[in-house]
Structure 1
């Protein structure tokens, strides 16, 4: 399969047509080998308009959704970015010149992505995703949906930092841009999206008598 041609078709038919006009982002999407970051037996579908499986609990976010999230985040070269699950997003941001750390709790997913992330200069942390391992981030991104607002993630942003993620507690989620201000956070809804929800972030059921 000609992955380079498939990559260009993906950008032309799924990214540019959805008002993703950032040239640096488009160039990064054209450069990152998405096929190397999914389950090896699903590489043939890496550039289709589907959420491509990586492991039983992880998948690649739709190119349209991820590209719209990243454009809303306005990443800048030299910024410190934390990706909470999502090797593809990490590789794209690294290609754009950011200092990127990927935090992931799925060891199998990390094993698949390790060669590509190493070549891209991404720092990898294997750890639970309920809270970042450090703070002071300019940007936080997630390719998986969160069932509730992840306050621990937002607390890890520096003032002026941004987080882009999908909040989903029903059939359809809302992609949102959160910004850290001296007074707290601001939030702006972006578009509808339906990536899988990160189960380890679901609140424990509350029982009452």
Structure 2
């Protein structure tokens, strides 16, 4: 029988802390949230490996190291309002619920949304509003947000998402445009413009609706 508590401890100590994750509230949250509850039963034995875990429909629970690094660099405060784009089964939303004042978790896949709703309810997670809609459109009704986490890779970040940031707000995602090495990136809204900064090399599954558009050919 898998000792999930020990596996979770090892994940934090060997995968997350050594990879420039210094936010104590974040490491505490990742120590507390049972990742195995957010993957299919037949995948729970690999819930704490240092890689994406498939959850069906081409979707994954993101590699712990990548998720933790992005959340660490997002500088989430206890008063922050956070939008998760591509909530999947709800793991990142459960982590963020321990860090932020309000989490809006957007998902367009009905099966993933149902799994997230069940997992968050079973664990008694509060402060997360699960909403259904197209991922690329975001959820402006509850914005603007201090932080937007796009929980997967994108070929490009649509302006519709960065428009939902407060001044100084941050959007974190993995950008994989097919031309360069995929990287975790931070986009920051400053004085009506959006700047971007590469954080580290990373790769994860591309979210539906964010795929690279085919190049025009004569």
TM-score interval (norm. to shorter): over 0.9
What is the aligned partner in structure 1 of residue 115 from structure 2? 112
CA RMSD of aligned residues (A): 1.6
Q: Distance in 2 between matches of 1:208 and 1:51?
A: 34
What is the aligned partner in structure 1 of residue 187 from structure 2? 178
Over residues 1-59 of structure 1, what are the superposed CA-to-partner deviations in whole Å (9 max), with x where a residue is unaligned?
21111100000110011121111000000011111111221011110112111112210
* Cα contact 2:85–2:149 (8 A) shared by 1: yes
Deviation for aligned residue 1:124: 0.4
Q: Distance in 2 between matches of 1:83 and 1:206?
A: 29
What is the aligned partner in structure 1 of residue 206 from structure 2? 197
Q: Does 1:35 align with 2:36?
A: yes
Over residues 140-182 of structure 1, what are the superposed CA-to-partner deviations in whole Å (9 max), with x where a residue is unaligned?
0022101112221111111121111111022731111111112
**Closer, same or farther: CA 57–98 of 1 in aligned 2, 3 Å:** farther
Q: TM-score, normalised by structure 2?
A: 0.90
Q: Report the more deviating stretch, 154-163 or 193-202.
A: 193-202
Structure 1 outlier segments of 4+, above 3 Å: 203-209
* Cα contact 2:82–2:100 (8 A) shared by 1: no
Aligned with residue 96 of structure 2, among 84, 93, 97: 93
What is the aligned partner in structure 2 of residue 126 from structure 1? 132
What is the aligned partner in structure 1 of residue 48 from structure 2? 47
What is the aligned partner in structure 1 of residue 69 from structure 2? 68
What is the aligned partner in structure 1 of residue 83 from structure 2? 82
* Cα contact 1:32–1:95 (8 A) shared by 2: no
Deviation for aligned residue 1:114: 1.4
Q: Distance in 1 between matches of 2:62 and 2:73?
A: 16
Flag structure 1 segments of 5+ consecutive residues without an equivalent.
none
What is the aligned partner in structure 1 of residue 12 from structure 2? 11
Q: TM-score, normalised by structure 1?
A: 0.93
Q: Does 1:144 align with 2:145?
A: no
Flag structure 2 segments of 5+ consecutive residues without an equivalent.
none
Deviation for aligned residue 1:97: 3.6
Aligned with residue 163 of structure 2, among 149, 155, 160: 155
Structure with the higher fraction of residues in strand conformation: 2
Q: Distance in 1 between matches of 2:182 and 2:150?
A: 13
How many residues are aligned here? 209
* Cα contact 2:176–2:183 (8 A) shared by 1: yes
